[in-house]
Amino acid sequence: MTRAVVLDTGVLGLVVHPKQRPEIAAWVELLEKAGVAICLPEIADYELRRELLRMRSNGAVQKLDQLRGPMTYLPISTAAMRLAAELWAELRQGGQPTADRHALDVDVILAAQARLAHRDLGAPEADTSAVVATTNVGHLGRLVAAQEWTQIAWAP
């Protein structure tokens, strides 16, 4: 079984700025040693990158660019966007939206990318255990397996 951790934007920001939480680098290294696929969703890249560019944080943008090598990049796909639309509609119908109805709603797109991570990892759906590492389980936990990043650990 392929084990995968999909990074939410908040956790990705910590990885790019490890001085905020020095233990993040050790956590990433532990996951790598355990053979866990660390996934960087394109929507999280977008959400973090736009803010880094606004702040003119060129060093952090370069660090973000460098993560594409060691991490598994999950590009936005038609399948992910269609699933995101379904998730968005289900949440609205249930009266539990995660964002304003006019907002892009990054959370549903990220959840869709996480649900489809098995495909991007080249594994059958039943052979992939993916969890979203986040700093806020609230919204994402309704859509996909999600945990606080500090609670995710796989031993090598």
pLDDT at 118 over 80: no
pLDDT at 38 over 70: yes
C-alpha dist (Å) from residue 115 to 15, 61, 94, 129, 155 = 22, 27, 20, 10, 23
Both structure tokens of 89: 């509609």
For the stretch 61-103, pLDDT in tens is 999 999 988 899 999 999 999 999 999 999 888 887 677 777 6
pLDDT at 120 over 80: no
Q: In terms of DSSP bridges, do strands 128-134 and 72-74 run parallel, antiparallel, or are they unpaired?
A: unpaired
The CATH number given to whatever domain includes residue 59 is: 3.40.50.1010
Return d(Cα 24, Cα 14) in angstroms, integer.
7
79 in a structural domain: yes
Q: How high does pLDDT run on average in the chain?
A: 89
For the stretch 47-72, pLDDT in tens is 999 999 999 999 999 999 999 888 99
156 in a structural domain: no
> 117: closest CA among 132, 104, 136, 133?
132
Q: For position 128, what pLDDT does the model report?
A: 67
Which residues constitute the domain of residue 146? 2-151
Q: For position 8, what pLDDT does the model report?
A: 96
109 in a structural domain: yes
Overall domain count for the chain: 1
